[in-house]
Chains A and B, each alone.
Chain A
Amino acid sequence: MKIFNVIKALTTGFLLATSCSALSHAGHGSNVPWEACEEKAINEDCSYISHDKKATGTCQAMNKVLMCVRNKPLETLIDKATQPASEQKQSVKSLAKR
């Protein structure tokens, strides 16, 4: 019974691994935290923008792949096109301080 379980586990593992690798390349725009760390090393600073919010953090390994782990509060972004000119100036100033 134990041998059967081992064979079953190995076979299933191979199938899962190969199928998941294929699926994971489908690309749905839901991988920005990973993309933010594609060319970086662990603990390196990173940031990404998604859903009008900016996340800032460091690259950490999850399942042995680096992804951007946020450690600063999310920043809400407002499109310049929808913002009054006076506020744009103020916002740019606040960005420069960072």
Chain B
Amino acid sequence: MRKLNAPILAPLAVCILALSLAACNGSDTQSSVVTETTTDEGTTTDTSTDFVVEVDPFNFESDALISSITTQTCTLSNGDEASCYKIDIAGAPSNYEIGVFCPRNITSTADEAGIWFDGTGEVYDITGDFILNLPTLYNDNHWQLYDEGTGLVNVTDTQESCDGAARPNVEEQYQNHCVECSIDYVDGGISESFLIPITPVATTQNSSIGNTNVGVALNGVVLAAPAPVEAILGAYTIAAFDDCAGHINLVAGYHYHGEAGCSQTQIQSDGHAAMMGYALDGFGIFGMLNEDGLEPTDLDECRGHTDDTRGYHYHAADVSENMFIGCFKGATAR
């Protein structure tokens, strides 16, 4: 395991901020009517935060952590002094092997590669057909991710090419590449420490998601802020995810940008969506759908609500939406 390189994070943060300031063109207009919805009408929940549930260290998978969870005093974002858990995650999933990312040629099937999503509500299997269809999908004939002579897909299959492409400012030579990195490049995973308030403290004003992490998954993987898809696509690259919506770069290691169900390790006996992680404010994050495949209808602006068993908690967005929650309802550790 490798420790996070803090000096690299600062410029990365600046970059993400900069690209986020963009106002780009392109919109969908359709003549349509609403006919179908999938909702969880029977849920009797609200969005009050009167009832909170403490963080439970035993919810984490044993191999998800590189050391025992300890307690220490912390200062929260609202100025309160509190007790926090110090959680050192392994930075690699404890419950599965990291999957494949990029297809190798234009005949590859869904089983031979991972997925891609751009935040607009669709998940694509990165098949050979997907690679062939990129100019149509993104309405730009500059897309050419494969060799027309051999049918082989351009993949960043060395550490050097991974380093040059798995970043917001993709080096020009790696444009029109499917980007992937091996977990071996980061020694099996980048461990990271998180301070999370043991007892979540709801605040009167929600806090926005920044450009860093949103929380931690119960299997030891970072829940990252939305991926900078406009920058990725602007460089004619696909930053391929494995089927669990995770991918690797040399700064953050393996991390999630969406909730694909791979970290939903805490099944709920009442049919509620399974728990998959904790947000940095200590509130639990659960899957989007309950066991009947229904999504709550009463989520607040942060994608949270309250019930009698779990108190206030979040429901992750769909994997295709390139995010987990909308904001922090509670105070985070400084």
Which single member of A53, A61, A76, A88 contacts B209 (CB below 8 Å)?
A61
Complexed CA–CA distance, A49 and B27 (Å): 9
Q: Which residue in chain A gives the minimum CB-CB distance to B47?
A: A71
Interface-forming stretch among B4-12, B79-87, B151-159?
B4-12
Residues of A within 8 Å of B119, CB to CB, are 30-31, 33
Cβ–Cβ contact A71 & B326, under 8 A: yes
Report B1-44 CB contacts with A as 1/0, cut-off 8 Å: 00000011011101111111111111111111111111110000
Q: Which residue in chain B gives the minimum CB-CB distance to A60?
A: B326
Knowing A60-B327, A71-B301, the reply to whether A80 touches B32 (Cβ < 8 A) is: yes
B51 on interface, CB distance cutoff 8 Å: no
Complexed CA–CA distance, A51 and B118 (Å): 12
B49 on interface, CB distance cutoff 8 Å: no
Cβ–Cβ contact A32 & B27, under 8 A: yes
Interface SS of B by simple majority: loop
Cβ–Cβ contact A29 & B19, under 8 A: no
Complexed CA–CA distance, A70 and B38 (Å): 14
> How many A residues, CB 8 Å from partner?
70
Nearest CB of B to A60, in Å: 4
Report B120-161 CB contacts with A as 1/0, cut-off 8 Å: 111000000000000000111000000000000000000000
B240 on interface, CB distance cutoff 8 Å: no
A86 on interface, CB distance cutoff 8 Å: no
Cβ–Cβ contact A52 & B297, under 8 A: no
Instruction: Tally the A-B contacts, defined by beta carbons under 8 Å.
Output: 241
Cβ–Cβ contact A94 & B30, under 8 A: no
Knowing A23-B231, A80-B32, the reply to whether A62 touches B20 (Cβ < 8 A) is: yes
Interface-forming stretch among B64-72, B176-184, B276-284, B315-323?
B315-323
Knowing A30-B233, A50-B28, A62-B226, the reply to whether A9 touches B120 (Cβ < 8 A) is: no
Nearest CB of A to B115, in Å: 15
Question: Which of A12, A26, A92 has the most CB atoms of chain B within a 10 A radius of its CB?
Answer: A26
Cβ–Cβ contact B231 & A24, under 8 A: yes
Cβ–Cβ contact B14 & A75, under 8 A: no
List 4 other contacts, CB 8 Å, given A18-B18, A20-B16: A16-B169, A20-B228, A54-B32, A71-B299
Can you pick out 18 interface pairs between chain A and chain B where the beta carbons lie within 8 Å of each other? A12-B11, A14-B14, A16-B12, A16-B15, A21-B18, A21-B22, A24-B18, A24-B24, A24-B230, A24-B234, A31-B24, A54-B34, A57-B326, A69-B323, A71-B303, A73-B295, A74-B38, A91-B34
B-to-A contact residues, CB < 8 Å: 7-8, 10-12, 14-40, 118-122, 138-140, 167-170, 208-211, 225-226, 228-231, 233-235, 294-295, 297, 299-303, 317-318, 321, 323, 326-327
